[in-house]
Amino acid sequence: MPICTCRNWHSQFSVIQYGYGDENNSIELAGDAKEIATSLADLVEHEVRDDRAGRNNGENASDRRPFTAMAIPAKVQGRLRLSGSIARKSSTAINALPRAARVSWGGEQGERPVLFISEIVRNNMLAEPTRIGTEQRGRITLDDNALPSRY
């Protein structure tokens, strides 16, 4: 989740870093804030349970430690877009993104890839009344093949 909880990051969508290291070695992941929060909470809970099981000697239950790792072994699926393509979306879709992300993506740093696991879309107005909603494009899941890491 974003480090800062100020209003520049508060929105319907969240933008998080996917990958190890700094921004040059990772990609931004965008999607419905509730979905991302739920997925990350599930991944963290899995890591806490896995850590506890690894310290259990089979006789005495080990204590539950807080999550202290800096990364979670996860994999994502989504729709890859260039950050500049966001400007062509409707104002409703653009405003669903955090202000900090919109400013960053529209800045002088150049275009970069953004992986969307969900997007704001309009329905087919011919089939039903006009409605704007969120459509799934992918998901965040545990990477079962990743080796444990405390990065």
The least confident of 59-63, 86-90, 131-135, 144-148 is: 131-135
Q: Is residue 1 predicted with pLDDT exceeding 60?
A: no
What digits encode the pLDDT tens for the residues 74-131? 899 999 988 888 777 767 677 788 888 888 877 666 778 889 998 876 655 565 555 5
What confidence score (pLDDT) does residue 36 get?
A: 92
Average pLDDT, rounded, for the chain: 79
Higher pLDDT, 73 or 128: 73
Task: Tell me whether strands 27-32 and 74-77 are parallel, antiparallel or unpaired.
Answer: unpaired
Q: Name residue 15's beta-bridge partners.
A: 30
- Where exactly are the structural domains of the chain? 1-57+64-109
Give Cα separations from 59 to 53, 56, 62 (angstroms): 12, 8, 9
Does residue 38 have a pLDDT over 90?
Answer: yes
Task: Give the pTM.
Answer: 0.77
Question: Does residue 2 carry a pLDDT above 60?
Answer: no
Residue tagged 């998080």 (tokens)? 16
Query: What pLDDT is stored for residue 78 in this prediction?
Result: 92
